[in-house]
Amino acid sequence: MPIKMDRRKKYTQMVLKESFLKLLNEKQLSSITVKELCQLADINRSTFYSHYADQYDLLSKMEEEIIEDMNKYLSECNFTKEDESEQVTEKLMEYIVKNKKVCQTLLCGNGDASFLEKVMLVAKENIKKNGFLGNHFNEDTADYWSTFIVSGGIYVIKNWLERGMDKTPREMALMINAFASSGMNMLKFH
């Protein structure tokens, strides 16, 4: 019996998330009501409230799942090796392809603007923690540089999503890493 409940719970959450994403693609978060979300998902409001406090809680949980997945991918690799950095970037691009709907909606659509900041923070911390910047900068400069690399990368990814993912994850990984590396090389010479 507990296995059935787990499946039912997972299914309910999946349906709610899919319905929520559909609504987020159509309108602003502040315009979405729990009532219309439940109607679209074809579930009772009491069922919704047994999983989430409100639509903001649902969005927050979805964002947390993505951040957790990103942290998992990033923590498994060492950024100090350039080829491994490309592999990590490619894995993240593949993750975005697999989760296209949610990534497109949260990064480019009507999602919470603070999500972009959360993604940037995760990426910046991983860049600094794994020594991608080397010993070329003091802490203050490293923070500025990691902000530059991450924000540029995220906006390249947003552009890629908005253009309908017109390049492969591998092509995007190579491009993003080339941009970051060329910037690093220019800075080393000055």
What pLDDT, on the 0 to 100 scale, is given for residue 57?
A: 95
Centroid of chain to Cα 83? 22
What pLDDT, on the 0 to 100 scale, is given for residue 153?
A: 87
Q: What is the pTM of this model?
A: 0.76
- Locate all alpha helices (DSSP H) within 27-54, ordered by sequence: 34-41, 45-51
What tokens were used for 127?
A: 């860049």
CATH for 1-52 (1.10.10, 3.30.300, 3.40.390, 1.10.3470): 1.10.10
What pLDDT, on the 0 to 100 scale, is given for residue 186?
A: 58
What tokens were used for 90?
A: 């490619």
> Which residue, among 161, 162, 91, has the nearest Cα to 126 in the 3D structure?
91
* CA angle at 69 for the pair 65 and 70, rounded to the nearest 5°: 115
* CA angle at 80 for the pair 78 and 85, rounded to the nearest 5°: 65
What pLDDT, on the 0 to 100 scale, is given for residue 132?
A: 61
Q: Where are the domains of the chain?
A: 1-52, 63-188
Q: What is the DSSP letter of 189?
A: T
pLDDT under 70 in the chain at which residues?
Answer: 1-5, 74-84, 110, 127-137, 183-190
What pLDDT, on the 0 to 100 scale, is given for residue 189?
A: 44
What pLDDT, on the 0 to 100 scale, is given for residue 190?
A: 44
